[in-house]
Structures are given as structure tokens and as C-alpha cells.
Amino acid sequence: MSFVARLKWFFKQQWLRYTIAITLIASVSMLTVIPPKLIGDTVDLIRSDSLTQSELREKVLILIGLALLLYIMVFTWITTLFGNSALLEKLVRGRLLAHMSRMTPGFYQRNSTGQLMALASNDVLAVGQTAGYGVMTLVNTVVGASVVMISMISLISWKLMVAALIPMPLLVLVITVLGRQIRDRFTKAQDSFGRMNDQALESISGIRVIRSYVQEDEDVNAFDRVTDDVIHQNQRVALIHSLFQPIISLIVGLSFTIGIGYGAYLVMEEVISLGELISFNLYLGMLIWPMISFGEFINVLQRGTASAARIDEAFMQEADVQDDAHPVDVKEPTSIEMKHLSFRYPGAQRDSLTDVSFRLEKGQTLGIVGKTGSGKTTLLKQFLRQYRLDEDSLFISEVAAERIEMEIVKSWMSYVPQEHLLLSKTIRENICLGKPHATDEQVNRVIEMASLAKDISQMPKGLNTLVGEHGVMLSGGQKQRVSIARALLMHADILILDDCLSAVDAKTESHILEHIRRERVGKTTLIAAHRLSSVSHADWILVLDQGRVIEEGTHEELLFHNGWYKQQWDIQQMEASLQE
């Protein structure tokens, strides 16, 4: 698809600014043909000794006036057109971010962070350049070249013009061949830039692990390899690009040679005057810029098209889960139920959940336990609607979850994941993420509930302490409790806690859980945990193994059952008493 087709929406939106800019560029091209004609005429007048002082003054004044007018026009089109470029970049970046925020995990599995960053930086830049600089070069070429050629024909000699332009078809051929190469090579260079981003991100975020395994040198070498590739790919683009200008100069030089040679002959034959030959050669000089412009246009257009295609590819990927065309209106989650739910991650070899069933009424608590990798997180994630579900396997208020609008389902849930994600803001901003206008009283309350008050009072700026990138200033346990406070502030109908107290000591954990239990009377809670004491109070407990429910019941029933739960409970009780 062409560049214009891909960006039709923008050209439509900004048609007025483009019309102004294009009209001005065209007018500038037209006005610049006047000075050479004036100079040629003046030479002829000097030669025939008929130039009067008033005529000379008049011509000089016209030239100065023209220069001023051109200055204003050029200033206006530059600001208008390049303003458009910047605006397009901003809009495309905004759209990209909005699109990415709607995407489900499958999208991020297919597109690495580095590649997405490359799209938002280099590719958006290339597209913006085409919409600004590209348009300028195109108009310059078309209008500039036609105006000069028309002037040559009408004011001097069409024969001389045809002769001087004989080498021009060569130019078209060269540009077509090189242009295609530029696009291919540029796409490869952008891919390589994306891979470099990935490597840099991984090195920086994994720096502690890399250091602890003394892998710094290997990491630097690996980075060297990707940057070498970036250089190599960009050199290949630069090589083709650098071939452009000399070839254009060569062809233009050939035109000049013919122009002067054949022109001199025409002067001798008295077909044209000396002044006309001078004007003609000035015009020929004025053709250089449109020709260079044409080369630049092809170059920028090819890069812009390659980048626009890469960006469109990301836009074309849809979220794995879409809303039902005719969603069912459900007011509140009165119950949640899984019926024989099986689930396999996209691209995985085996199911991560097999035939899981349970039912939870509003106000009840579900505990999920089991070995690492048994499917606890996977089970909880089903409520976040990130992956496609089998039909009729998950129900909320007796309605199949996929028939309820996703935004509504999400508004019922508060999820505290295993990996806590804190933003590089203050503690207060992190806690108030979902409820920016929460009152001090509400914030203090959740801080109490998450047993964070003491920690915060010891921080240099209390609630206004900045936590650093990903919360590096906080301990694992503090991060977990900030995440819990954040979720509790939402006071959601369904609270999902995914093993989010693992870095907190048992006593603090039981305090927090006690608070949560008291606070959430009448609301539904799902807790996955390693410590069985975290779920012992739950109304129903599932024990998972390899994605299957191997035991289920209340705490007492499971102890009575004398299976994995009982064994684990005994071990953990013994460990706890030893620690005490």
C-alpha cells in the first residue's frame, strides 16, 4: 500500500495546512524564475548600450522586493509543513501507545519491547519526515522543474531545452533502481535497531544478575555484536544514499555541457542572444535543486513507506480477546463459576489448566494452593480476560464471561500480581494509581490495612518518597504491600491476590489477611498462596497439580482428607514453630 493511502486520515485532517504550504512552495518556485530573466535582459541592455539609470534602479528594487517576499513565504511554508511533520509524529505515537494499551499478552509475546520502541522512535520519525520534508521535495521537483522548463521554452528556445534535458531519463532509471534498494535496506536497518533496543533493555534491567554471574564482558560482547549489525545495516543504506547525489550531479553536469555547447552554437548562429544564453544557464542551474529534490523525495518516500508498513503491521494486530457484538448487561458479580475449564497458552505444547470447576458466591473467599508451576497464576489470570476462553467455561452472575463487556469485568476486579509493578513515582501516586482523587483518610486506611504505616513513617519524605524505577528503593516486602494497598483502595467487588505476600513474614501476612477479611465482608476474594495459613480461612480451597484440581474443600475437610494439603500443612506448621 502506498504511503499516501496509509496516511490518508492525516492528509485529510490537515488538508488546509498542506494546501497553504504547497501553494507557497509552488509560488516560491514560480517567483524564482523572475531574477534570471531580469539579469539576462539587463545583460542584453548593457550590451546594446541602452540601459538607463532609472531602469537599473527599477530592476534592483524589484530584485530586493522579491528577495523579501520570498523570505516571508519560505518562512511560512517551512513552519507550516514541518509543524505538520511534528504533529503527525505526535499523533502516530499517541495512537501506538493507545493501541498497545489495548493489547493482550499474545501481542507482547509476538512483538518484543525493543521492536516496539524502535517503531515509536525511528519509524515514527521516518514517517513524519516523509509527511514534511518529503512533501516539500515533491512539490519542489514538480513545480520547480515545470516552471523552469516552461520559462526555458517560452522565453528562450525549446530546442536548447530539449537538447539539455536529453540525459534526464537516465535519472529516472537510476532513481527507480536505487529507490527500491533503499526501502529494502532501510527495513533491515530498522529491524536491527529494534534488536539493539532489546539487547540494551535486557542488559540494563538484568544488570544485577549479569554482575552476579560475572557475565559483564560477555554481555558487552553481545551488545557489540548487535551494534555492529546496526552499523552494518545503516552503512548499506548510507552507501546507496551516497550514490544518489553524485549520480544526480553527473547527469546535471552533462545537461550543463550540452546547454553551454549547443547554446554557444545558437548564439553564434544568432538564434538566441548572449543574454538569453546566460538566462538559460541560470535556469539550468535552477533545475539542479528540483533534481536533487527528486532524489531526496524518492529516498525519504522509500524510508517513510517502509516505516509506515512496519507501524501498520503493529496496528493490524488485534487483541486476542474481543468484546461480544451484543454484550449482556450484568449489573454486579453475584457469583463466579468455572465449569470444566481447560486452558492452553498460545503456542504451548500442553494444557496449563485441565477440567477445573468451582463455584463462588458473592462474599466468599477462594484459596488456591499447589506446587510452583501447578497453574495457580494461570487460573487467576482467566478472570482478567487476557486470553481467549473455551465457550461456556467461565461464568459471572450466571452469564458466560465472554458475553460481558470486558471493561465492565475489569472494573469489578482488583488484581495484585506476583511480580509487583511499581511506577517511578511517589508511594502515594503508586497507591492511588486507580483512584487518583482518593482522600488522605482513604489512603491512610489502606496503608494501615497493608501494614505499611511503620515503613512509610521511616521514609525520608513519607508518602511523598519517590520509589525509583520499578520501585528499586523499596524492599520486596514493601513493594508487595504497596501493591496490596493499591488494590485495596479500589474496594473492588472481586479481589485477586496472586501469591503476593511471599516476601512478607508470616506474622505481618496474617495481620494483613485479617484486615482484608474484615474489610471485605460481603465481597469476593481469590487468594493463591504458598503458605497454607494464608488460605486456611477461605470458604473453599483448591489444590492444583499440573493444572488439575487434585483436592478441594474447606481447610478442615482437606486436613481430614489427609492428602498433599495435610502433608504440606504439617510441614509448614513445624517450620513455623521451629522458627519461633
499 grid coordinates? 501469591
DSSP-assigned states of every residue in 137-189: HHHIIIIIHHHHHHHIIIII-HHHHHHHTTTHHHHHHHHHHHHHHHHHHHHHH
Q: How far is the CB of 344 from ligand ADP (least distance, A)?
A: 8
CA–CA gap between residue 534 and residue 521 (Å, rounded): 17
- Cα torsion 173, 176, 179, 181: sign: negative
The owner of cell 528503593 is 473
> Would you report the helix, strand and coil content of the chain in percent, each value rounded to 5?
65, 10, 25
**Which of residues 310 and 376 has its CB atom nearest to ligand ADP in the complex?**
376
Q: 426 φ, ψ to 5°? A: -80, 165
Q: 459 φ, ψ to 5°? A: -85, 150
Alpha-helix runs per DSSP H in 269-367: 274-316
Residue 348 touches ligand ADP, criterion: CB under 6 A: yes
Residue 107 touches ligand ADP, criterion: CB under 6 A: no
Residue 130 touches ligand ADP, criterion: CB under 6 A: no
CA–CA gap between residue 57 and residue 60 (Å, rounded): 5
**Which of residues 345 and 564 has its CB atom nearest to ligand ADP in the complex?**
345
The owner of cell 508487595 is 480
**Which of residues 421 and 472 has its CB atom nearest to ligand ADP in the complex?**
421
Q: Which helix (H) or strand (E) holds 357?
A: strand 353-361
Distances from the Cα of 469 to the Cαs of 205, 424, 460, 504, in angstroms?
A: 10, 4, 17, 21
Residue 376 touches ligand ADP, criterion: CB under 6 A: yes
Residue 377 touches ligand ADP, criterion: CB under 6 A: yes
Q: How far is the CB of 130 from ligand ADP (least distance, A)?
A: 37
**Which of residues 241 and 376 has its CB atom nearest to ligand ADP in the complex?**
376
Q: How far is the CB of 387 from ligand ADP (least distance, A)?
A: 9
Q: How far is the CB of 398 from ligand ADP (least distance, A)?
A: 27
Question: Of 5-13, 182-190, 375-383, 424-432, which part binds ligand ADP (CB under 6 A)?
Answer: 375-383
Residue in 82, 256, 345, 569 binding ligand ADP, rule: CB under 6 A: 345
Question: Of 5-13, 267-275, 373-381, 439-447, which part binds ligand ADP (CB under 6 A)?
Answer: 373-381
Q: How far is the CB of 108 from ligand ADP (least distance, A)?
A: 10
- Number of residues in contact with ligand ADP, rule: CB under 6 A? 11
Residue 370 touches ligand ADP, criterion: CB under 6 A: yes
310 grid coordinates? 512496519
Residue 275 touches ligand ADP, criterion: CB under 6 A: no
Question: Of 15-23, 372-380, 470-478, 503-511, which part binds ligand ADP (CB under 6 A)?
Answer: 372-380
**Which of residues 134 and 367 has its CB atom nearest to ligand ADP in the complex?**
367
Residue in 40, 375, 471, 477 binding ligand ADP, rule: CB under 6 A: 375
Task: Give the binding site for ligand ADP (CB under 6 A).
Answer: 345, 348, 352, 370, 372-378
